[in-house]
With several copies, the nearest count.
Chain A
Amino acid sequence: MTLKEVQEQIIDEFEIYEDWMDKYNYLIELSQDLPVLDSKYKTSEYLIEGCQSKVWLYAKMDGNIIRYTAESDAIITKGIVALLIRVMSGRSAEEIKDANLFFIDRIGLKDNLSPTRANGLFSMVKQMKLYALAYFAKQQKS
């Protein structure tokens, strides 16, 4: 699936939830499916700090693609992290660095990912793209 297709899939999934509580319930569910981050990455090096919750993000190159794993101490944030990883992980650096994450807005989570919301999610997306940018630059050089 393309980046666009995954996002549309997510939008479809959320469409059935009319109510915020249902959306949150679904995010809580998603948070439980997020693979555990190896505790050796739960250090300040991988920490993305917001005002409220913490996110740890680890990225590694797997051939041509980037794989992310992450974790958060807050559950709804973790659910969103799970979505971000579902959309972004396993793609090429080039695709990720230019990714237009339209699904966030469409499923009503814009607040959580806006820079004025002092939390780690906005920084997380930035960090995901930064990793991609770095790998991409490396690829270009070699």
Chain B
Amino acid sequence: MFDVQKIRSDFPALDQQVYGKPLVYFDNGATTLKPKVVIDTLQEIYSKRNSNVHRGIHYLSLRMTEEYEEARKRVRKFINARSEKEIIFTNGTTASINTISSTFGEEFVKEGDEILISAMEHHSNIVPWQILAQRKAAILKVIPMNDQGEIVMEKLDELMHEGIRILALNHVSNALGTINPVKEIIQKAHERNIPVLLDGAQAIPHGDVDVQDLDCDFYAFSGHKVYGPNGIGVLYGKEEWLEKLPPWQGGGDMVEKVSFEKTSFAELPLKFEAGTANYPAAIGMAKALDYIDALGKDQIAAYEKELLDYATLKLSAIDGLKIFGAAANKISIVSFLLEGIHQEDTGMVLDKMGLALRTGTHCAEPVMTRFGISGTVRASMVFYNTKEEIDKLYEGLIKLRQMFR
């Protein structure tokens, strides 16, 4: 059985009070809390083993390099990439996406070309493409979604044609929770020779991701959203693509030979890793992945589904509460509004009850525009949350409605 109480004891930050109330942390979509094993790993590295990687031949540097490269292997295995060459460490999803928008953009996008994204993207998967489109005089096209917050597949078919250079899509929407049918979409795209980048920031923490099975060309995610430290992220890319792309940032580690006349670049994956790596965070993230695997991805997904169903049922029963995002396939996110009450008011009052929820646009302003609202209140739940916490949210919302009537 899934022993939530035991799991909760692994997360020291869960055991605290805010305003004298026990913390209910429902802001996991923004960042997750960290299990003790991750925190301890950082502490051990900085207290004992710290030393810069790759170029050193002394003991500490060699050991640290090994650990760093082990972390890369760990990530490879976690998403089932073919080889470690396909695993680039970045400092987050945003940096991973910008790496591709810049390098792929530089190499393959020309004036008049189209770039396809969806209507439910996070700003990190919109703005890099807007910047690229502007620089290259390319055209940004948007796949619409329906009222449930699902991609309109027929529209996708219409929009997809040979003039599209790349399709960038979130695997899971952070604002609505929608799990997109990415495998099917990738297949359609590949039939038209369109490579696909998946923004996996919200998908990786919630279930099994197999990049070979999905057959995506690029996949991006962040350590801090998958129980790992900040300042680390992953860019997966198919080797044949990464080989074709120019490097992005210049600096140490990404070069083979440097002279003022001619510089040659390092092999994959280092070609895309300029400057001192955040190896402590990479190793910390690998520990987080171990932690997830030990719990079991399927068990996590099943438990989180339970939470989602429970929360959906419970909150729907509240008079005047409207849930945004009713996709058939969803992660444990409930985005909602109480009729006549601003999301900010809701957030501020819940906060004082010890309930940490995110309010606003969730960095997905076009989603709000689509629904004609200025924001939502979002409860994003993960495996250390409980039904009792959902009950507290329910009670809090009932109280809140009375306050604002």
Task: Say yes or no for A77: interface residue by CB 8 A criterion.
Answer: yes
Task: Say yes or no for A4: interface residue by CB 8 A criterion.
Answer: no
Residues of B within 8 A of A115 (CB): 69
Q: Are B62 and A117 in touch, CB under 8 angstroms?
A: yes
Q: Are A77 and B66 in touch, CB under 8 angstroms?
A: no
* Pick from A25, A116, A119: contact of B344, CB under 8 Å: A119
Per the 8 Å Cβ criterion, residues 103-133 of A in contact with B are 111-112, 114-119
- How close is B135's CB to chain A, nearest CB, in angstroms? 28
Q: Are A20 and B342 in touch, CB under 8 angstroms?
A: no
Q: Are A52 and B349 in touch, CB under 8 angstroms?
A: no
Please count how many residues in chain A sit with their CB below 8 Å of the partner chain's CB atoms: 22
A79 closest partner in B (C-beta): B345
Do A119 and B345 form a contact, CB below 8 Å, given A24-B352, A24-B403, A52-B359? no
Task: Say yes or no for B54: interface residue by CB 8 A criterion.
Answer: yes
A114 closest partner in B (C-beta): B66
Q: Are A73 and B374 in touch, CB under 8 angstroms?
A: yes
Q: Are B403 and A51 in touch, CB under 8 angstroms?
A: no
Residues of A within 8 A of B66 (CB): 114, 116
* Pick from A21, A52, A112, A117: contact of B343, CB under 8 Å: A52
Q: Are B403 and A77 in touch, CB under 8 angstroms?
A: no
Residues of B within 8 A of A73 (CB): 342, 374
Report the Cα distance A23→B19, complex, angstroms. 14
Task: Say yes or no for A59: interface residue by CB 8 A criterion.
Answer: no
Do A52 and B403 form a contact, CB below 8 Å, given A20-B19, A21-B352, A24-B352? no
Report the contact-size class of chain B (Cβ under 8 Å from the partner).
20 to 34
Q: Are A111 and B55 in touch, CB under 8 angstroms?
A: no
Task: Say yes or no for A85: interface residue by CB 8 A criterion.
Answer: no
Q: Are B62 and A111 in touch, CB under 8 angstroms?
A: yes
Residues of A within 8 A of B398 (CB): none
* Pick from A25, A54, A77, A118: contact of B55, CB under 8 Å: A118
Do A116 and B62 form a contact, CB below 8 Å, given A52-B375, A75-B342? yes
* Pick from A21, A111, A114: contact of B349, CB under 8 Å: A21
Q: Are B360 and A51 in touch, CB under 8 angstroms?
A: yes
Task: Say yes or no for A137: interface residue by CB 8 A criterion.
Answer: no
Q: Are A20 and B352 in touch, CB under 8 angstroms?
A: yes
Residues of B within 8 A of A48 (CB): none
Task: Say yes or no for A99: interface residue by CB 8 A criterion.
Answer: no
Report the Cα distance A73→B373, complex, angstroms. 12
Do A53 and B344 form a contact, CB below 8 Å, given A73-B374, A111-B62, A116-B66? yes
Q: Are B57 and A24 in touch, CB under 8 angstroms?
A: no
- How close is A115's CB to chain B, nearest CB, in angstroms? 8
Q: Are B352 and A74 in touch, CB under 8 angstroms?
A: no
Residues of A within 8 A of B65 (CB): 116-117
* Pick from B352, B360, B404: contact of A75, CB under 8 Å: B404
Report the Cα distance A74→B359, complex, angstroms. 12
Q: Are B69 and A116 in touch, CB under 8 angstroms?
A: yes
Task: Say yes or no for B131: interface residue by CB 8 A criterion.
Answer: no
Task: Say yes or no for B348: interface residue by CB 8 A criterion.
Answer: yes
Residues of B within 8 A of A11 (CB): none
Residue in B344, B359, B374 with the greatest tally of chain A CB atoms within 10 Å? B344
Per the 8 Å Cβ criterion, residues 348-404 of B in contact with A are 348-349, 352, 359-361, 374-375, 399, 403-404
Task: Say yes or no for A96: interface residue by CB 8 A criterion.
Answer: no
Task: Say yes or no for B341: interface residue by CB 8 A criterion.
Answer: yes
Do A74 and B19 form a contact, CB below 8 Å, given A24-B348, A114-B66, A116-B65? no
Report the Cα distance A78→B324, complex, angstroms. 26
Do A52 and B62 form a contact, CB below 8 Å, given A24-B352, A28-B404, A117-B57? no
B341 closest partner in A (C-beta): A75
- How close is A87's CB to chain B, nearest CB, in angstroms? 21
Per the 8 Å Cβ criterion, residues 68-109 of A in contact with B are 73-77
A115 closest partner in B (C-beta): B69
Q: Are B344 and A76 in touch, CB under 8 angstroms?
A: yes
Q: Are A52 and B360 in touch, CB under 8 angstroms?
A: yes
Report the Cα distance A77→B359, complex, angstroms. 15
Residues of A within 8 A of B347 (CB): 52
Per the 8 Å Cβ criterion, residues 21-78 of A in contact with B are 21, 24-25, 28, 51-54, 73-77
Given contacts A51-B361, A75-B341, A117-B57, 20 further A-B contacts (CB under 8 A): A20-B352, A21-B399, A24-B349, A51-B55, A52-B343, A52-B344, A52-B347, A53-B342, A73-B374, A76-B345, A76-B348, A77-B342, A114-B62, A114-B66, A115-B69, A116-B68, A116-B69, A117-B62, A118-B55, A119-B57
**19 A-B interface contacts by CB (under 8 A):** A21-B403, A24-B348, A25-B403, A28-B403, A52-B343, A52-B359, A52-B360, A52-B375, A73-B374, A74-B342, A74-B344, A75-B342, A75-B404, A112-B348, A116-B62, A116-B68, A117-B65, A119-B57, A119-B344
By a beta-carbon cutoff of 8 Å, the part of chain B in contact with chain A is: 19, 54-55, 57, 62, 65-66, 68-69, 341-345, 347-349, 352, 359-361, 374-375, 399, 403-404
